[in-house]
Amino acid sequence: MKFTIYLLFPFDLGLELDFSGKDQNKIFKELATRQIPDLTLEGQVLSSAEVTFQIYRFGVGLIQTAFSLEADLERCAQLAWNADRIRLGKRDLVGYCQSMVEGIIERAKPYATYTYDQRLEESEVFPVFVLQDFIRKDAGGFIRRHEKLLYGIVANEPDWSRLSPFVLKQDPLENYGYYEYELILIKRYGSVVSSAQSKELMESIATSYAQYWSLRSYSAYLDGEMERTQKLLEDLPPFYKFWKAPQRYRRYSEEAIDFSRDKLSIVDSLYNRSALRIASDSDWYFRRFSETAAKVFQVEEMYREVELKLDRIESAYNSARDYIATNFFIILDFIFFFWLTWSILDTYLLWKMAGK
* pLDDT for the residue numbered 345: 81
Band of pLDDT at residue 176, cut at 50, 70 and 90:
very high
Band of pLDDT at residue 244, cut at 50, 70 and 90:
low
Q: Which residues form the domain of 282?
A: 206-350
Tens of pLDDT along 76-102?
888 888 888 888 877 888 898 999 999
> Do 23 and 54 meet the contact criterion of CB atoms below 8 Å apart?
no
* pLDDT for the residue numbered 279: 44
User: Does residue 229 carry a pLDDT above 90?
Assistant: no
How many domains is the chain built from? 2
Assigned domain for 181 exists: yes
Band of pLDDT at residue 283, cut at 50, 70 and 90:
confident
- Better-scored residue on pLDDT, 280 or 286: 286
Which amino acid belongs to residue 8?
Answer: L
Same domain, 217 and 248: yes
Assigned domain for 272 exists: yes
Band of pLDDT at residue 241, cut at 50, 70 and 90:
low
Short-list 192, 313, 299, CA closest to 261: 313
Q: What rounded mean pLDDT belongs to the chain?
A: 83
Same domain, 216 and 110: no
Distance CA 125, CA 190 (A): 9
Short-list 355, 308, 277, 329, CA closest to 26: 277
Tens of pLDDT along 113-135?
888 888 888 889 999 999 987 77
Contacts of 328 (CB under 8 A, 6+ apart): 242, 245, 246, 249
Assigned domain for 356 exists: no
Assigned domain for 355 exists: no
Average pLDDT (273-288) is 63
What is the pTM (predicted TM-score) of this model? 0.83
